[in-house]
Amino acid sequence: MNQKVFSDPILQVRNLQTHFKTDAGVVKAVDGVSFDLRKGETLGIVGESGSGKSVTNLSLMRLIPSPPGRIVGGKVMFHDTDLMKISDSEMRNIRGNKISMIFQDPMTSLNPFLKVSTQLIETIRLHQGLGKRAARAQAVEMLAMVGIAKPEQRIEHYPHQFSGGMRQRVMIAMALSCKPEILIADEPTTALDVTIQAQILEIIKRLADDLGTAVIMITHDLGVVAGMCDNVAVMYAGKIVEKGTAKELFGDPKHPYTKGLIHSVPRLDQDHQERLFSIEGQPPNLIGLPDACPFYPRCNYVMDICKQKYPAPEQLSENRAVNCWLYKEHENKEAGLVEQR
Amino acid sequence: MTQYIVRRFLGLFPTLFVIITISFFIIRVAPGGPFAREKELPPQVLANIEAKYNMDEPLIVQYGVYMYNIIRGDLGPSFRYQDRDVNYYVFNSLPASMFLGLVSLSIALVLGISSGILSALRQNKLADYLSMSVAVIGISVPLFVIGPVLMYFLAIRWQLLPTSGWIGGRNGWAPLIMPAITLAFPYFAYIARLTRASVIEVLRSDYIRTARAKGLRESVVIVKHVLKGALLPVVSYLGPAFAGIVTGSVVVEQIFRVPGLGRFFVQSAFNRDYTLIMGTVIVFSVILIVMNFLVDIVYALLDPRISYK
Amino acid sequence: MSNMPSSPDTQSAPDGATNEFDQPVEGVSLTKDAWRRLKKNHMAMAGLVLVIIYAVLSITAPILPIHSFRHQVSVHRDLPPSFTKTAGELWYERVENRMTLLAERDGRSQLNAEERAELAEIRDRIETERRVIDGEEVLVHQRRYLLGTDHLGRDMFARILYGGQISIAIGLIGTITSVFIGIVLGAIAGYLGGKTDYFIMRFVDVMYGLPYMLVVIILMAIFGRNIFNLFLALSLVSWLVVARVVRGQIMSLKNSEFVEAARSMGASQTRIIFRHLIPNTAGIIIVFATLRIPAFIMQESFLSYLGLGISAPFASWGSLVSEGVNRMTSTPWQLFFPAMAMTLFLFAMNFLGDGLRDAFDPHSKNRL
C-alpha cells in the first residue's frame, strides 16, 4: 500500500474513558483511548470481541446507551470542537452529516417497518435541507452508487425484501448520503458471506476515496486491515496497546499481543506442518482490573513490573507507539526493576 | 392483500360452525336440558320448541333445523319466556353492550398506550413508577371490587354520578362514565404494561441506534421509528382484550344495571334458559371472531414483513 | 448492541476457579444466572417472600390456633374487627347501644327493668356460656375476632385463611392441569408438524375464538357448581396459550444443533421431546405458570361473584369479596380484609412473575 500524505488530523481522541455499570460492578469498556484521524485516512481498529472497539466509536458519536453506559472522561476534538462538550442538538447536527456510521448487522440495523426510501430521504432532508423530490433523487443516486440495480424501484421496497449484502449497501448509501468527513464502519462485513464481504469493502473504499471521507474501520479481521487500512490501532481490554502504519505493524509487530494476533492468522506461504498458533487463555473481564498490564497472564514475555503498573505509550517513531514494558528498558533499568523473563 | 382478506374472511365460517355445533350439543348433554322433557316447562314454551325443532325427529334432523334457523338469523324461542324469541332479547340489548365495550376499549387504548410510552421514556423515574403501580392495581383488583368502590364514592358518598341507568335517560351521558371506567381499568393496565415493555425493547434495537446515528431528533426517533414497531404487540393484544371486555361486561352490566347483553347472559344462566344462553354465546362469538379478523388485518397492514400468501 | 462488553456473570464465587486478576472464570448456568438476577429485583423478592408466607399459612392452617371457619354464632354476626375487645364485649356494647337508642327514642333517660335484665343475662352468658366447636369446649364469648365476623357470625380471619387455601389451590391445580395439557399438545404439534400440527392448531384457533369465560360460565351453570367442575372448566379452556407458546418454542428449537446431535445419536422421538425439548422451554413455562395462577384466582373470583363459584359453607377469596361487596356500606371490613388478602397475593404473584420473566429473559441481562 503506497504511503499517502496526510494533512492535519480532523479528529483527535484523547484519553477517552467509557464505563458501564452492571450488576457485577463497573466495566471499564474504554479505558484511556487516544488516537488521531486525518482527512482521507483509513484507520483500522483491531481487537477481540469485548476489547472496546465498538464502544470507543459509539462514544465518539455519543451513542452509548445511558444508563448503564457513561463517558467519564477524555476529549474528542473534531476540527476545533470538543464533541464531548457540545449540546445535544449540535451533536445531532454532526451525526449522520459530518460523521456517520455503518453497523455490523445489516439485518437489524434498518427499520423493518419503514420503506428504504423513507429512511434514506429523512437523513438527506434533515441535514441538507433539500425538498422531497431533490432528496429522493439524491437517495436514488446513492443507491446506484453502492451498486443496487434498478434503484428507482428498489427504493420503494422494505428492508426485508433485500438480502444481507444489499441491506449493507443500503446502509452505506445512507451513511454516505450527506458526504460525511468521517465514516465509522463497525465490523461492516462480519455478518456477511465471504464473497459479499469483499464487495462491501470495495464499495466502502471506493466511495470513501471519491468523497474524501476518512474511515475508521473496526474489525477483528486482520485481512480487512491489511487490505484497506493506512494506519492501525490494536485494542486489548479497553486500551490501545499498539499503533502504527499497517505496513510497519504487520511487518514488525512490537507488542506481544499484536505478535500473537498476527501469528494466529493462518498463512498459505508457510510450512503446513506447524500447528496453528493461538494465544493461550482468555481476555480478562473488565471489572475491577488492577493497574497492571491486562495482557500479562497470557504474555510470553511477562516481567514483574507488568503485574504492577500499566506502561505509558512509548513513541517509537512519528506514527508508531506501543504500550509495553519491553520497550521501556531504560526506565526499567533506572528503576532497577528489570528482571529475567 | 385483497386475496389475503378474502381468504381470512372465509376462514371465519368454519370457526363459527364449530362453535354453533358445540353449543348445540352442549344443550343436548346438559342434565335436564331443554329437549329432555323431565324439566318442567311452561306448556306454551314446550310447544314452541317442539314446533321449531321437530322434537320427534332424529337428533341429526333437529341439528339440521337448528343450523338452518341460525343461518336465517333465528336463534330460536326462549326457554323461559313465552312471548318473545331469543332474537328479541339479544338484539334489543346488544347496542348498549357494544357501545359500552367500544367506549371502554377506546379508553383503555388511549390511556394505556400513552402511559406505557411515558413510562418507557421515563424508565425508573417517578412517572414510570406511578403509572406502573396503577397498572399493577389494575391487574390485581377484581372488576367487581373496583366497580362497587367507585360507585360507593362517586355515586353514594359524593353524589357526583348516578348509581345506575343508561344513556338517553334523564342523566344524559353520565351513566356511561362509571361502567366504562370500571371495564376499561384492567385492560388499560395490561395495555400500559405491554406498551412499556415493547417500547423499551424497541428502544434497545439496532435500528433505533441507526436512527440516532443519523442525527434524528429524539422526538422524531420515537414517533417515526419506535412507535410503529412497538405498537404491534398492542394490536395483537386487541383480540384477547376485546374478549376480556365482553366477559367483563357481564359483571359490570350487573353492577351498574346496564341494559346490555351481559346482564341477560347471567340471568339466563341462572334461569337455565339454554336457548337464550346459546344465543348470547353465539352473538358474543360472532363479535369476537369478527374483531379478531379485523385485528389480523390491521396487523398485516402495519407489519410489512407479513406476507399475504 | 452486539459488541458491548458481555456482562461478566460473576460474583466472587467462594470455591470457583479464578484467573490471575482474582476474577472467577467459572461458567454460570441459566437458572443460576436467572436466580441471581431475580435476587436483585426487590419487588420480585418481596413478592416471593409474601407468596411463601401465604403458602406456609395455608398449609399450617389446620394446626394454627384459629377459630372454625364454618361455625356460626348468631349473636356474633357482623362484629367489627378488634384486637382488644372480646366478642362478648362487642356483643354487649352493641345490644346496650341499641337499647339506649330505643330508650332515647321513647323519651326515657334510663333503661327499663326488662332491658336491664336482658343485659344482665348477656353479661352472665359472656362469662359462662360454653359451646362445643370442632370437638373442643370453649367459652364462646371470650373469643376475639381480629378481623371481625361475617353476616352469619363466622370468624373472618379463619374464613379468609381457608378461603385463601381454596383460591390458591384452584390457582395451582388449574395451572398445573392447563400447563400439562398445553405442554403435551403443544410439544406434539410442534415436534411432529405436518397434519398433526395442523389439526391441533386449528382446534386451538377455534377454541381461541370462543369467549373463554363465557364457556366456563355455561359449563358451571349447566353441570352444577362444585369444586371439581370448577377446576375442570377453568383448566380445560386455558391450555391454549401454553400449547401455542410451547409449540412455537419447540419449532424453533427443533432444528437447533443440540437436537440434531441427539437425533444423530439415535435418541427416540419421545426422548427428544421430553428430555431435550421440554426442559429447554422450562423458563418460559415457569414464567407463564407464575402469571397464570393469579389469573385463575381472578377468574374463580369472577365466577364466585356471579354465584357460580365455591358454595357455602366453603369460601374462596372471590366468594368472600363478592359477599363483602353487597355489604360494603354497613360492614366494610367484610369487603376490605378479603379484598386486601386477595389483592396482596395477586400483587405478589404478579411481581414475582414479572421478575421471573425479566430474570429468564436474556435481553434484560445488562438492565439495571
Give yes or no for a contact between B232 and B299, defined as CB atoms under 8 angstroms apart: yes
Q: Does A49 touch chain C (CB under 8 A)?
A: yes
Give the per-residue pLDDT at C129. 78
Residues of B in contact with C325 (CB under 8 A): 144-145, 148
Cell of A10: 480532523
Give the per-residue pLDDT at C4. 40
Query: Which one of C1, C21, C368 has the shortest CB-CB distance to A284?
Result: C21
Query: DSSP strand E in chain C: where?
Result: 130-133, 136-139
Cell of B11: 376462514
Cell of C170: 384452584
Residue A278 φ/ψ region, left for φ over 0, alpha for ψ in the -120 to 50 degree band, beta for the rest: beta
pLDDT band with cut points at 50, 70 and 90 for residue B111: very high
Residues of B in contact with C347 (CB under 8 A): 136, 140
Give the per-residue pLDDT at A335. 53
Query: Does B213 contact A110 at a Cβ distance shorter than 8 Å?
Result: no
SS (H, E, C) A277-315: CCCCCCCCCCECCCCCCCCHHHCCCCCHHHHCCCCCCEE
Residues of B in contact with C205 (CB under 8 A): 15
Query: Which one of A187, A281, A285 has the shortest CB-CB distance to C10?
Result: A285
Residue whose C-alpha is closest to residue A255's, from A299, A220, A219, A312:
A299
pLDDT tens digits, chain A, 341 residues: what are they?
444 555 678 888 888 888 888 777 788 888 888 888 888 888 889 888 778 888 888 888 888 887 788 888 888 888 888 888 888 888 888 888 889 998 888 888 888 888 889 898 988 888 888 888 899 998 998 888 888 888 888 898 888 888 888 888 898 888 888 888 899 988 888 777 888 888 888 888 888 888 888 899 988 888 888 888 888 888 888 888 888 888 888 888 888 888 888 877 776 666 655 666 677 777 777 777 777 777 877 777 777 777 777 777 777 777 788 887 777 765 555 555 544 43
Res. C368: pLDDT tops 60 = no
ipTM: 0.82
pLDDT band with cut points at 50, 70 and 90 for residue C6: very low
Residues of A in contact with C7 (CB under 8 A): 22-24
Taking only the tens place, the pLDDT of each residue in C199-254 is 888 888 777 766 677 777 777 776 766 777 777 777 777 788 788 877 877 777 77
Least confident of A221-225, B236-240, C275-279: C275-279
Nearest-angstrom CA–CA distance, C326 and B255? 10
pLDDT band with cut points at 50, 70 and 90 for residue C173: confident
Taking one residue from A and the other from B, the number of pairs with CB-CB distance under 8 angstroms is 72
Interface of A with C in 290-319 (CB under 8 A): 290, 292, 294, 296-297
Residues of A in contact with C367 (CB under 8 A): 68
Give yes or no for a contact between B155 and B162, defined as CB atoms under 8 angstroms apart: yes
Average pLDDT in the B19-32 region? 72
Question: Where is A46: in which H helix or E strand?
Answer: strand A42-46
Res. C365: pLDDT tops 50 = no
Cell of C179: 400447563
Helices C317-326 and B143-150, axial angle in degrees (round to 10): 20
Q: What is the pTM of this model?
A: 0.80
Chains that touch B (3 or more CB pairs under 8 A): A, C
Among A19, A22, A105, the residue to mutate for chain C (most C Cβ within 10 A) = A22
User: Across-strand partners of A13?
Assistant: A35, A76
Q: Does C8 touch chain A (CB under 8 A)?
A: yes
User: Across-strand partners of C149?
Assistant: C155
Nearest-angstrom CA–CA distance, C251 and B173? 51
Query: Does C4 contact A54 at a Cβ distance shorter than 8 Å?
Result: yes
Residues of C in contact with A287 (CB under 8 A): 8, 10, 23
Res. C11: pLDDT tops 50 = no
For A239, the 3-state DSSP assignment is: strand
pLDDT band with cut points at 50, 70 and 90 for residue B109: very high
Nearest-angstrom CA–CA distance, C202 and C209? 11
Residues of C in contact with A290 (CB under 8 A): 21
Q: What sign does the CA torsion over A295, A297, A301, A304 have?
A: positive
Write down the mean pLDDT value for chain C: 77
Query: Does A109 contact B206 at a Cβ distance shorter than 8 Å?
Result: yes
Res. C319: pLDDT tops 80 = yes
Nearest-angstrom CA–CA distance, A96 and B211? 9
Write down the mean pLDDT value for chain B: 81
Give yes or no for a contact between C307 and C297, defined as CB atoms under 8 angstroms apart: no
Buried b (16+ CB within 10 A) or exposed e, B151-186: bbebbeeeeebbebbbbeeeeeeebbbbbbbbbbbb
Give the per-residue pLDDT at B41. 64
Give the per-residue pLDDT at B38. 45
Query: Which one of B213, B220, B229 has the shortest CB-CB distance to A95?
Result: B213
pLDDT band with cut points at 50, 70 and 90 for residue C5: very low
Residue whose C-alpha is closest to residue B123's, from A61, A84, A92, C358:
C358
Query: Which one of C8, C40, C367 has the shortest CB-CB distance to A285?
Result: C8
Query: Does A53 contact C3 at a Cβ distance shorter than 8 Å?
Result: yes
Query: Does A61 contact B213 at a Cβ distance shorter than 8 Å?
Result: yes
Chains that touch C (3 or more CB pairs under 8 A): A, B
Query: Does C328 contact B152 at a Cβ distance shorter than 8 Å?
Result: yes
Query: Does B250 contact C214 at a Cβ distance shorter than 8 Å?
Result: yes
Give the per-residue pLDDT at B232. 85
Query: Which one of A100, A109, A122 has the shortest CB-CB distance to B216?
Result: A122
- Summary count for chain B: helices (H), strands (E): 12, 0
For A113, the 3-state DSSP assignment is: coil
Nearest-angstrom CA–CA distance, B159 and B149? 13
pLDDT band with cut points at 50, 70 and 90 for residue B205: confident
Give the per-residue pLDDT at B106. 93
Query: Does C5 contact A67 at a Cβ distance shorter than 8 Å?
Result: no
Taking only the tens place, the pLDDT of each residue in B112-168 is 999 999 988 887 788 888 888 888 888 888 888 888 888 888 888 887 877 777 777
Give yes or no for a contact between A103 and B210, defined as CB atoms under 8 angstroms apart: yes
Higher per-residue pLDDT: C9 or B211:
B211
Average pLDDT in the B252-256 region? 84
CB atoms within 10 A of CB C320: 28
Q: How far apart are the CA of C264 and the nearest CA of chain A, in angstroms?
A: 28
Nearest-angstrom CA–CA distance, B16 and B4? 19
Residue whose C-alpha is closest to residue C248's, from C298, C183, C186, C310:
C186
Q: Which residues contact B40 (CB under 8 A, 6 or more apart)?
A: none
Give the per-residue pLDDT at B36. 47
